[in-house]
Every structure is written in structure tokens, then in C-alpha cells.
């Protein structure tokens, strides 16, 4: 069993470094990243979410495991959800489980405020709504200048998707929706229920201690994922 790991907006594959170590030896993992960051810094950003999904798909398909799960955090959750749809459309082996963290269902963001073209100061006010952004980043002008284009690219492709999303057929894949109990500005147990209509089977919704980036920080999440994956293998 392998875990396919998909990062948050503004992130890269190294966000999962600690989780990858903790998943071993039961679960090996592959962390993917989009262009314009980290090891792919010289590549152009993707311009929409469809391109983002296609980019991850092309990376994955050449090494698609026989048995795997998908773990997505925040933006990575919607990428993972759409990736599962693309795999199904192309008649590829589907993941045994989807773990989608720190993001509401795809139809929940239609009325989000516009962030395209806003000033740098206003943009960083939006970023700060996502608990866990390091204070040293917010206080360091050069770091903010470095990360702002990456964050803007990701936030803008999400906004375009939010405004154009109409519907998606429910997936017949076991899924668990995860959220941090302190991530109250972004998600809640009640709002996470919206994911249920996007799956044909009953899904699990679980909270863990932590904020928006609890997935990277709370070691109990790894134990939970291992337990779920083992259940899927046995069933």
C-alpha cells in the first residue's frame, strides 16, 4: 500500500516530510508538487485547477501503485477529489481510500470574496485566516515577496474553480473527511457534512486537535490513517 500525498496552497511536497517518515514501515508514500515551487521552481504555474489535476495525474500514472490511498490537505483535498474523478474517467485503478483534510466540499466556496488583483497587504490578510502561517514569514518582507506569487497562483486557481464549479458525480470510494478542531475560521463539523453528497457510500468525518495544518503536525492522524488503510485491505 502506498499513500499519494497532495500539498496545500502555497506548499510543496516537503510539507509531508514528517508524515512520510511516520507512515513507514506499513505505508510507503509519494509526495507530489505542482510547478512553480521547490524542486519545480523554474516551471510556470498552472493557470487553473484542471491543469493542476492533469499535472499530478501525469506524474502519478507512470508509477501508479496497485493499491494506494490519496491524502490531500486543504487545496490538496480538492485536487485529490478531482484526481479520483479523472482516474475513474480513464478506467484506472482507483484509490482504496480518500483522506481529505481542512477543506469544505467543492460547492461551499461559491460566494468567497474576490482576491484576484487585490493589494499585497489585503492578500496577506486573507492568508492569515489560515491558522499556522509562521509568524517569521509574516514579519519578513523578503520571505513574503518570495512566497506571495506561489500563494497567489494557488489561491487564484481555487477561486476560479469555486466560481465555475457546478457539480460532480458522487464517487463510490471509501472516504474520510478530516479537520482540525481549532480551525474554526475555515471549517466546522457541521459544514464538513457537505462532503456527504459527493460520495455514494457513507463517509467518516473526524476531527483532530490542531489548526488548519493539523495534518502535518498531529501524529495521531498517521495512526488513524494506518488503521483505516488496514481495514480497507482486510475488507
φ, ψ (nearest 5 deg) of residue 98: -110, 130
Do residues 176 and 203 make contact, with C-beta atoms less than 8 angstroms apart? yes
Average pLDDT value over all residues in the chain: 93
Q: What does the alpha-carbon distance between residue 230 and residue 1 come to, in Å, rounded to a whole number?
A: 9
Strands (E) across the chain are located at 2-6, 28-32, 68-73, 97-101, 175-180, 204-208
pLDDT at 132 over 70: no
Could you tell me which residue, 132 or 180, shows the higher pLDDT?
180
In the chain, the percentage of residues whose pLDDT exceeds 90 is: 78
- Report residue 137's pLDDT band, with 50, 70 and 90 as the boundaries: confident
Structure confidence by residue, pLDDT tens digits, 94-124: 999 999 999 999 999 988 888 889 999 899 8
Provide the strand spans (E) within 47-130: 68-73, 97-101
Q: Are strands 28-32 and 68-73 parallel, antiparallel or unpaired?
A: unpaired
Amino acid at each position: 500500500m502506498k499513500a499519494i500525498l497532495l500539498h496545500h496552497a502555497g506548499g510543496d511536497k516537503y510539507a509531508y516530510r514528517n508524515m512520510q517518515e511516520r507512515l513507514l514501515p506499513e505505508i510507503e508514500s509519494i509526495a507530489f508538487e505542482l510547478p512553480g515551487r521547490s524542486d519545480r521552481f523554474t516551471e510556470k504555474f498552472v493557470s487553473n485547477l484542471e491543469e493542476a489535476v492533469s499535472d499530478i495525474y501525469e506524474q502519478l500514472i507512470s508509477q501508479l501503485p496497485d493499491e494506494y490511498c490519496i491524502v490531500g490537505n486543504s487545496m490538496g483535498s480538492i485536487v485529490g477529489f478531482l484526481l479520483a474523478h479523472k482516474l475513474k474517467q480513464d478506467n484506472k485503478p482507483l484509490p482504496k481510500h480518500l483522506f481529505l483534510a481542512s477543506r469544505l466540499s467543492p460547492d461551499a466556496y461559491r460566494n468567497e470574496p474576490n482576491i484576484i488583483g487585490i493589494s499585497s497587504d489585503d492578500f496577506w490578510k486573507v492568508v492569515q485566516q489560515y491558522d499556522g502561517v509562521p509568524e517569521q514569514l509574516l514579519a519578513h518582507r523578503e520571505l513574503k515577496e518570495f512566497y506571495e506569487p506561489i500563494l497567489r497562483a494557488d489561491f487564484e486557481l481555487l477561486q476560479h474553480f469555486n466560481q465555475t464549479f457546478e457539480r460532480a458525480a458522487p464517487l463510490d470510494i471509501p472516504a474520510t473527511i478530516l479537520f482540525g478542531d481549532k480551525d474554526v475560521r475555515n471549517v466546522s463539523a457541521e459544514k464538513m457534512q457537505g462532503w456527504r453528497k459527493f460520495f455514494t457510500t457513507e463517509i467518516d468525518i473526524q476531527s483532530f486537535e490542531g489548526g488548519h495544518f493539523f495534518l502535518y503536525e498531529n501524529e495521531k492522524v498517521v495512526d488513524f490513517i494506518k488503521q483505516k488503510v488496514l481495514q480497507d485491505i482486510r475488507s
